[in-house]
Amino acid sequence: MSNYSRSSLRSPLGRVRALGSARHGAMHWWTERLTSLALIPLSLWFVISLLTTLLGAEAQGVAAWLSSSFTALLLAALTLIGFIHTKMGLQVVIEDYIHCECKKIATTLFKDTCCYALMALALAGIAKLHFIGL
Amino acid sequence: MARPQDQRPLSPHLLIYRPQNSSVLSILHRITGVILSFGMILFATWIWAAAYDAQYFALIQQLAGSILGKLALISWTACFYYHLGNGIRHLNWDMGRGFSLPEMTRSGWLVLLFTASLTIFTWAIVIRKVGF
């Protein structure tokens, strides 16, 4: 500390503060694993539903499929967990390849807005088809 | 502002590195994930359109029925099965298993086999049910 050459009045501690990790890494990692685990059965269930009942279906067919509360619940879960997983996965890609801080923040904001907007769109569709019908 | 440290070469020189099973499958996980993210736009708007917008729903059906649409759907199917299979491989690694080189190469080929066979199987069902 004594041989530290001071070119400004900022303390060494002040210089390094906020330059470390955001302390959210472990939670991000863990949530990504949990969502991927949940998406294994949910996504396979959706693909099987596409193949068995939704192939070439009109809106009436989708509405009939979603009239069951079990189906609506599973599709809502898939939507919610799917978009959280998408948002987190894209976050890592953005942080790895975009190094300019302002571009990184702008891309992240745009990505999060798209994910939440699409999630809301899908949930609104599920709710309407389930509770009201076409 | 270009700082001297930004001009240094980056390790491990990706462009002159010979592609290997491990590195190619690793970047494929990321690429398929990004492609699937774009598929989520279709997923969400398809549900929304079924409930609220008959015109847009008809447009989606028309696009999905076109040749380009079918090619996109086949690519998404392959990306889905790859990301699913390789994701399970990742979860296995997260539990500390399967890290030896022979095991990794074997599980890598297994994921490719899983992807190819399930993509073909899925589209065989589609073609049998509604034709191409």
| Residue B49 near residue A122, CB atoms below 8 Å | no
- Whether residue B51 is contained in a domain is answered as yes
CB contact under 8 A, B44 and A119: yes
pLDDT at res. A133: 93
CA-to-CA distance for B43 and B58, rounded, in angstroms? 15
- Whether residue A8 is contained in a domain is answered as no
The pLDDT-based confidence of A3 (bands split at 50, 70, 90) is low
CA-to-CA distance for A43 and B39, rounded, in angstroms? 13
- Whether residue B6 is contained in a domain is answered as no
- Whether residue B5 is contained in a domain is answered as no
- Whether residue A2 is contained in a domain is answered as no
- Whether residue A44 is contained in a domain is answered as yes
Q: How far is CA A95 from the centre of its chain?
A: 15
Q: Per-residue pLDDT averaged across B43-71, rounded?
A: 96
CA-to-CA distance for B100 and B129, rounded, in angstroms? 43
Closest Cα in chain B to A94: B34
Domain that holds residue B29: 23-130
- Whether residue A87 is contained in a domain is answered as yes
The half-sphere exposure of B49 on its side-chain side, counting CA atoms within 13 A, is: 16
* Residues B80-97 pLDDT 10s: 999 999 999 999 999 999
* Residues A64-87 pLDDT 10s: 999 999 999 999 999 999 999 999
Query: Which residues of chain A have a CB within 8 Å of the CB of B130?
Result: 55-56
B125: CB partners within 8 A, 6+ apart:
A51
- Whether residue B52 is contained in a domain is answered as yes
Does the pLDDT at position A50 exceed 80?
A: yes
Q: What is the CATH number of the domain that holds B113?
A: 1.20.1300.10
* Residues A111-131 pLDDT 10s: 999 999 999 999 999 999 999
- Whether residue A42 is contained in a domain is answered as yes
- Whether residue A103 is contained in a domain is answered as yes
CB contact under 8 A, B44 and A47: no
Q: Is A100 on the interface with B (CB under 8 A)?
A: no
* Residues B113-125 pLDDT 10s: 999 999 999 999 9
- Whether residue A14 is contained in a domain is answered as no
B5: its two tokens: 């440290």
How many structural domains does chain B have?
1
CA-to-CA distance for B102 and B90, rounded, in angstroms? 16
The pLDDT-based confidence of A5 (bands split at 50, 70, 90) is low
Q: What pTM value is reported for the model?
A: 0.89
- Whether residue B114 is contained in a domain is answered as yes
What average pLDDT does chain B have? 92
- B→A contacts (Cβ < 8 Å), by residue, are 30, 33-34, 36-37, 40-41, 43-45, 47-52, 54, 57, 80, 84, 87-88, 90-91, 94, 122, 125-126, 129-130
Domain that holds residue A40: 25-131
> Comparing C-alpha atoms, which of A105, A55, A37, A119 is closest to residue B37?
A119
- Whether residue B18 is contained in a domain is answered as no
Q: What is the CATH number of the domain that holds A95?
A: 1.20.1300.10
How many structural domains does chain A have?
1
- Whether residue A61 is contained in a domain is answered as yes
Q: Which helix (H) or strand (E) holds B122?
A: helix B101-130
Q: How many CB pairs under 8 A join A and B?
A: 85
Query: Which residues of chain A have a CB within 8 Å of the CB of B33?
Result: 89-90, 93
